[in-house]
């Protein structure tokens, strides 16, 4: 079950990368979309400020979700799985 924790950490690292390195994110998406790290700025130079803001917001959200899921996965594996299933089953039936 450590792979779930590792996946959460990867999401956190990518989110932090999006927030802390806007030039790296532009280069990464330029490579993915245009096979050239500088092509993204050449094609859409005018709205680049908005795109950097979007990358920062999405990175912060990814980091937050990564932390939340990491804590949730840790909690699931410290509690008895049968109790967790009963908890969610009972709550879903009551609503």
**Confidence at 1, pLDDT banded by 50, 70, 90:** low
Q: Which of 49, 70, 78, 57 is nearest to 3 (CA)?
A: 70
Count of residues for the chain?
95
The pLDDT of residue 94:
63
- For CA atoms 66, 71, 95, 84, the dihedral sign is positive
Residue 75 makes CB contacts below 8 A (sequence gap 6+) with none
Q: Which residue has the tokens 């299933």?
A: 85
The pLDDT of residue 46:
72
What are the tens digits of pLDDT across the range 14-72?
999 999 998 888 888 878 877 777 776 777 767 777 888 888 999 999 999 999 999 98
Average pLDDT over residues 7-14: 94
Separation of alpha carbons 58 and 19, rounded Å:
8
The pLDDT of residue 69:
92
């Amino acid at each position: 079950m450590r792979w779930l924790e590792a996946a959460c950490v990867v999401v956190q690292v990518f989110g932090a990368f999006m927030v802390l390195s806007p030039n790296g994110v532009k280069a990464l998406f330029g490579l993915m979309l245009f096979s050239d790290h500088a092509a993204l700025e050449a094609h859409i130079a005018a709205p680049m400020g908005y795109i950097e803001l979007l990358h920062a917001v999405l990175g912060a959200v990814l980091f937050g979700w990564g932390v939340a899921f990491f804590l949730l996965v840790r909690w699931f594996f410290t509690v008895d799985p049968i109790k967790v299933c009963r908890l969610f089953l009972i709550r879903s039936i009551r609503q």
